[in-house]
Amino acid sequence: MSSWDNAFKGSTKTGMVGSHSFGGAGSFFRTPYARELVGVDVAVSGVPLDIATTNRSGARLGPRAIRQASLSLAWERPWPWQTDPFSALAVVDYGDCENNSGGGLLSVAHIEAHVHGILEAGAASLLLGGDHFISYPSLCAHAKFHGPLSLIHFDAHTDTWPSSGHGINHGTMFYKAAKEGIVRPESSVQIGIRTTNDDTLGYQILSAPDVNRQGTADIVRQIRERVGQNPVYLTFDIDCLDPAFAPGTGTPVPGGLSSFQALDIIRGLVGINLVGMDVVEVAPAYDHAEITALAAAQIAIELLCLYAESPGSRNKERAPQRP
């Protein structure tokens, strides 16, 4: 065990940090804070923004809650993965993306510039939200490096309701992304949907009842067939989970996935060409005993494990090791 706080004095690629979970600086899984990205594989950033919510606000406090919850999970390699992502990858906590230019539509520019800088430095980006709107500027930045993307989208809502002009909120951004050619709906999939939107725009819908009736193995098969080896952006809205597992969110919908189902699906996606990712919509004011933040932290570390086994990571010399 280190005699210093790893968030300030630690280094990357040293594996999970064994430290007491009840103290120390609240960096993401005790990774070192850094703004220098030379040699960094993944930069984890918070985006404390919730101006685009259409129901309960509060997701601006989500990044802080996810980091805090991650401390109780940071003491060993994530089960059942055979790879410790913090040994395989150089991961830093890049701090928060702060908007110093005002709110509203300027948020698109400052988030896109933040993610663009990470990608330009040669690192991958994992964003912690914040409301789901933040996926749109992140997708804009990723598309400039990878071209049109396949989207794997976990959510209770399709977020493809029409937007007009510059109007955009956390329910319209994947409409806008599809119309602008940033995302390819024909090779994208939405999992856990359980709200009505008759125009799918060509996205494949795997509803929450589909997951329950067909089982996770079949859902994994369909996702893999849909995205192939296209560059993939994976976004996880925590309200994909049933409110029993994630009450702390702005727009909860009964009848969702269990934590086990979501994790089992993610673990089955080893080998996809993952290039970007986010976990969004944690609103701590509505949480109980941090269970929503804890679920989000677990999902975030699973995404890092998935990225460590992705063709897009720098960790290419090892054969994929399925959990």
- Residue 26 falls within a domain, yes or no? yes
Residue-level pLDDT at 50 = 85
Rounded CA-CA distance 280/282 in Å is: 6
Range(s) of the domain holding residue 104? 6-308
Neighbours of 216 (CB within 10 A): 19
State the Cα–Cα distance between residues 201 and 2, nearest whole angstrom: 52
Quick check: is 271 in a domain? yes
- Rounded Cα gap, residues 68 and 111, in angstroms: 23
pLDDT of 4: 63
Establish if 206 belongs to a structural domain. yes
Name which of 322, 315, 317, 222 is nearest 271 in CA terms: 322
Tokens 């802080």 locate to: 64
Residue 287 lies in a domain: yes
Asked if the structure places residue 1 within a domain, the reply is no
Q: What strands lie across the sheet with 204-207, from one edge to the other?
A: 91-96, 42-47, 124-129, 274-280, 232-237, 150-154, 189-193, 204-207
The CATH number that applies at residue 269 is 3.40.800.10
| Strand residue runs (E) in 155-208 | 189-193, 204-207
Q: Is residue 28 part of a domain?
A: yes
| Total domains, the chain | 1
CA proximity to 59, closest of 283, 308, 318: 283
Q: Is 193 within a domain?
A: yes
pTM over 0.85: yes
Taking 3-state DSSP, the helix, strand and coil percentages for the chain, each rounded to the nearest 5, stand at: 35, 15, 45
At a CB cut-off of 8 Å and minimum separation 6, what does 24 contact? 5, 6, 7, 30, 71
Q: What is the pLDDT of residue 317?
A: 43
Q: Is residue 319 part of a domain?
A: no
pLDDT at residue 202, rounded to an integer: 93
The pLDDT of residue 2 is 46
pLDDT tens by residue, the chain, 323 residues: 445 677 766 667 666 666 666 666 788 989 999 999 999 999 999 999 888 788 888 889 999 999 999 999 988 889 999 889 999 999 999 999 987 666 565 678 899 999 999 999 999 999 998 899 999 999 999 999 999 999 999 999 998 878 755 567 777 899 999 999 999 999 999 999 999 998 889 999 999 999 999 999 999 999 999 999 999 999 999 999 999 999 999 999 999 999 999 999 999 999 999 999 999 999 999 999 999 999 999 999 999 999 999 886 744 444 344 45
